[in-house]
Amino acid sequence: MSAIGNAMNLLRGAIVESSRVTFPGGAVTGESKVLDVAMLVGGKIALLLEETPFHPVDATWPDQPADRGMIQLKGGERTFPVEDCQIFGVHKETKDLAEMAKVPGKEKQNWFAVVAHIINPQELEAGSFLEETVVANVDAVYRNALNTHHTGCHMAAAALNQATHSYWSKGGARQDSLKAWDLDHEAMDTSMIFENRSEDLYRFGKSIKKKGLQTEQLFSDLEKVQQAANDFLAQWVASGAPVAIQAAGPHLDDTRTWHCNLPDGREVKMFCGGSHLPSLSKIAAIQYNLEPLTVDGEKKLKATTVVTLKSE
Ligand SMILES: [Zn+2]
């Protein structure tokens, strides 16, 4: 965690619910009241809005980076670049402030998850932002690039599971939404969304072998597996299937599920806190590449997914 995000204290302690977020529905702009201001180490401040289009990075699983953009004081010419956007926690009773990732898992239910828009207030007093109405503008080009590769990343995970289903000798693993053995979940090490690709790193230890994965066979057939995954992806892209995020509620801490309805009537779905394209029809092609690696003597697999959009 960068020093910029070291939460110190809230100016007012007025937060009574988790931030309302509009990024899951695709919003990139919005107007809101500033509910509270968090004072940070080094003179930066974090604006906590009632509602925001900004997607914050989730430090506990930082797959999709924070949005970039600006916050503008309404009615004035003052504009502040959002230098970082993180998830902070406000304790429901004490109103203490913390980086949410530092709150222990079983404690999290006692904290409101809020979107912290970190800015340099320049010469303005932190208190002058309280109760002000601001306009939040997300960098739409950057967001769309992240949407594109986040959607690609999920489709690739489903395609990998389809392509490796026959490499499991017994049913010791979890099944994905298409009823394939969920290699993406069982072997997941890290996942990262970039502007021009997504990268998933998979590890293959003893436990996945115990669950029935024939690791050696899989590694010797990598080219075949990669081709099979690319074939599934090509078929799905050609379908132009719709993509949607279903949310249990409007708040940052409400559960959200990503859905893609395939033409054969099946539905790919997975929990997801990020943002996505509205449909596969925007995509021209998805290229999936598997590369075997040895990291500290451990066998790993790096999957790189590159999505090309249709030209408008
Ligand atoms: Zn996701």
Contact 18, 251 (CB under 8 A): yes
> For 251-264, what is each residue's pLDDT tens digit?
999 999 999 999 88
Pick the more confident residue, 52 or 4.
Answer: 52
**Integer Cα distance of 138 and 70 in angstroms:** 6
* Residue 5's pLDDT band (cuts 50, 70, 90): very low
> CB of 10 within 8 A of CB of 46?
no
On average, the pLDDT of the chain sits at 94
Distance (angstroms) between ligand 1 centre and the Cα of 169 equals 28
| pLDDT class of 4 with cuts at 50, 70, 90 | very low
Query: Which residues lie below 8 Å from residue 157, measured CB to CB, with a gap of 6+?
Result: 176, 184, 200, 270
- Give me the helices (H) in the chain, please: 140-164, 183-187, 206-210, 215-220, 222-239
Question: What's the whole-number mean pLDDT along residues 52-68?
Answer: 96
Compute the distance between CA of residue 204 and CA of residue 217 in angstroms, rounded to an integer.
Answer: 12
How many angstroms separate the alpha carbon of residue 8 from the centre of ligand 1? 30
* CA 272 to ligand 1 centroid distance, Å: 4
Expressed in angstroms and rounded, the spacing between residue 134 Cα and the centre of ligand 1 is 29
Q: What is the secondary structure of 48-79 as a DSSP string?
A: EESEE-PPPB-TTS--SPPP-EEEEETTSS-E
Strands of the chain, DSSP E: 7-10, 20-21, 29-40, 45-49, 51-52, 69-73, 79-82, 84-91, 97-99, 111-119, 133-138, 188-193, 198-203, 243-247, 256-261, 267-271, 283-295, 298-309
Closest CA to 288 of 223, 243, 238: 223
What pLDDT does 7 receive?
A: 58
Find the 75 Cα to ligand 1 centroid distance in Å. Answer: 36
Mean pLDDT, residues 178-199 taken together = 97
Cα gap 65→55, rounded to integer Å = 8
Using the mean position of ligand 1's atoms as its centre, give its distance from the Cα of residue 269 in Å. 10
- Cα(153) to ligand 1 centroid in Å equals 8
Domains of the chain: 3-138 (2.40.30.130), 142-309 (3.30.980.10)
Beta bridge partners of 33: 133
- Measured in Å, residue 273 CA sits from the centre of ligand 1 at 6
Q: How far apart are CA 241 and CA 83, in angstroms?
A: 35
Compute, in angstroms, the gap from residue 74 CA to the centroid of ligand 1: 33
Q: How far is the CA of 231 from the centre of ligand 1 (A)?
A: 22
> 275 CA to middle of ligand 1, Å?
7
> If pLDDT is split at 50, 70 and 90, which confidence band does 23 have?
very high
pLDDT at residue 1, rounded to an integer:
36
113-141 per-position pLDDT tens digit: 999 999 999 999 999 999 999 999 999 99
C-alpha 252/C-alpha 117 separation (Å) is 14
